[in-house]
Each structure stands twice: as C-alpha cells, then as structure tokens.
C-alpha cells in the first residue's frame, strides 16, 4: 500500500501570501522551532515507555498504520516523542499556539495539517483523508486547540466514516513530570521517568452512518478516551486531573 504523504499545509504566516504575525512573534516561532525539538529529544532518550492495549487494538507502536488516533492535548509532549518520525498527519489550529506546535512537530517527523474545529477544519480533514487512504496515520489533539479539557471533538468520527479506517484512542501517563499552568495541564516528563501508553480498542464508523450513528460513535470515542486515561494514570497511582 502506498504511504505517500499529502502536501503539507503552509505555515500560518505564509498563507494567502500575507504575514499574519508580528516580527516579535516570528522570532519566537523560530526559537521554539529549534529549541523545543532538542528538549523533547534530550528528555525522550532517557524515558522508559511501557504500554498495554485493550483487546482489538494495536500492540506495537511500530505496527499502527493506517490509523486514526485521538488523544488529549495534555499528552502532546510524550506523544511527540513516542510517535516521532512516522509521518503522522497532525491537525493543528491556525492560532498562534497552533503555529508553535506545527513548527515543532515538523522537526520531529510529523506532517502538520492546518485547521481546527472553528477554522479550516474541512480542509484539514480532506488532507487527512488523503493521508489515511494512502496507508498513513492521522493524530488529533482532540480537546484542542483551547478546550474544554477532556471534551472530545468530532473530527476523528467524520474521518473514520470518510475512510473506513478505525479510530484508536490512546493516552500517555507520566510517572513524574512537570505540569504546566495551562488550560490543558500539559505534562512534561522528568528525565529518567516512566511513561505508560494505553490504547483503546478500535472504533469502526460505518460509511453510511447517519447523524444518530455518528453521535453514538462520538460518545464511544469520548468513553474510550476517559477509560484509557484512568487506566494509564492508575499505573502510577494517579487520578486524571
């Protein structure tokens, strides 16, 4: 099966031939674009990653394509390390925060596709459809770009209906980490910590799913995310926060 990646959406400041950010912001983007991947790699190589999966899910991170993978925004640091260099398409918003994320993940071997639940969403989904149908993977920070935390949006359900590829929710718990004071409580693992990956069983969305079926699949995805979150955090005696 072909694994040809779609054409990447341009960085937000390059779209429409216009500069969308100030000079100061563009300098910040460049600094973060180089520093953040170095930080992720420096911490990542010290981590020990364990995983488990519900029956009917993937059991090896090297055998996960094609696939549609929603996860909570707070896991983005750990997910960027664990799933690096696999050509995953990642839907990132057209906001300033989305610009930071797009630049960083591109350096880590992901394909940033620009759009969100509020702007450019269908354009991003169509690019993800192309990628997944070619045998690739699509990842969604599913409560982003600005929350509310732990409330899943609908994008993966629509993409699963468009492609026939199942949804596999996952979560990454951190044994010891720094929790940022952000809306999503982003967690950065401390060096030499453990990270636990828990994957949910596949969710299949029928190609002829009507509105009621889509709602049911959406609720199933939300429940799967909550389930794997609680399971993974419990491995270290934590509860979701």
What digits encode the pLDDT tens for the residues 177-235?
A: 999 999 999 999 999 999 999 999 999 999 999 999 999 999 999 999 999 999 999 99
- In this structure, the chain runs to a length of 241
Q: Is residue 6 part of a domain?
A: no
pLDDT reported for residue 1: 38
pLDDT reported for residue 239: 87
pLDDT reported for residue 224: 98
Residues with pLDDT less than 50, the chain: 1-5, 7, 10, 12-19
Q: Is residue 241 part of a domain?
A: no
**Number of compact structural domains in the chain:** 1
**What residues contact 105, with CB distance under 8 A and at least 6 apart?**
80, 90, 92, 112
Q: Is residue 31 part of a domain?
A: yes
Q: Is residue 228 part of a domain?
A: yes
Tokens of 183: 């809306």
Global confidence as pTM: 0.85
pLDDT reported for residue 62: 83
Q: Is residue 206 part of a domain?
A: yes
Please give the mean pLDDT across all residues of the chain. Answer: 87
Which residue from 32, 61, 41, 67 is spatially nearest to 49, judged by alpha carbons? Answer: 61
State how far the Cα of 12 lies from the Cα of 19, in Å rounded to an integer.
8
Residues 152, 189: contact at Cβ < 8 Å? Answer: no
Its domain, for residue 69, covers 18-234
Residues 168, 227: contact at Cβ < 8 Å? Answer: no
pLDDT reported for residue 120: 55
pLDDT reported for residue 159: 95
Tokens of 176: 């010891």
Q: Is residue 109 part of a domain?
A: yes
Q: Is residue 100 part of a domain?
A: yes
State how far the Cα of 89 lies from the Cα of 17, in Å rounded to an integer.
24
pLDDT reported for residue 47: 98
State how far the Cα of 152 lies from the Cα of 155, in Å rounded to an integer.
9
pLDDT reported for residue 22: 76
pLDDT reported for residue 77: 94
Q: Is residue 1 part of a domain?
A: no
């Amino acid at each position: 099966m072909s694994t040809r990646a779609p054409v990447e959406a341009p960085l937000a400041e390059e779209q429409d031939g216009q500069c969308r950010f100030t000079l100061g912001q563009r300098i910040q983007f460049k600094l973060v674009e180089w520093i953040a991947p170095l930080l992720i790699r420096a911490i990542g190589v010290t981590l020990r990653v364990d995983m488990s999966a519900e029956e009917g899910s993937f059991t090896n991170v090297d055998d996960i394509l094609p696939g549609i993978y929603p996860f909570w925004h707070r896991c983005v640091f750990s997910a960027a390390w664990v799933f690096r260099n696999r050509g995953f398409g990642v839907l990132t918003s057209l906001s300033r925060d989305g610009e930071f994320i797009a630049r960083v993940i591109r350096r880590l071997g992901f394909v940033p596709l620009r759009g969100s639940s509020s702007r450019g969403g269908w354009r991003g989904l169509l690019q993800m459809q192309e990628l997944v149908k070619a045998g690739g993977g699509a990842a969604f920070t599913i409560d982003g770009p600005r929350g509310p935390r732990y409330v899943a949006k609908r994008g993966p359900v629509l993409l699963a209906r468009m492609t026939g590829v199942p949804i596999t929710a996952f979560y990454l718990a951190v044994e010891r980490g720094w929790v940022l004071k952000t809306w999503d409580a982003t967690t950065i693992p401390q060096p030499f910590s453990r990270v636990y990956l828990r994957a949910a069983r596949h969710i299949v969305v029928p190609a002829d799913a009507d509105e009621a079926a889509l709602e049911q699949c959406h609720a199933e995805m939300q429940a799967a995310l909550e389930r794997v979150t609680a399971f993974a955090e419990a491995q270290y005696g934590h509860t979701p926060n």
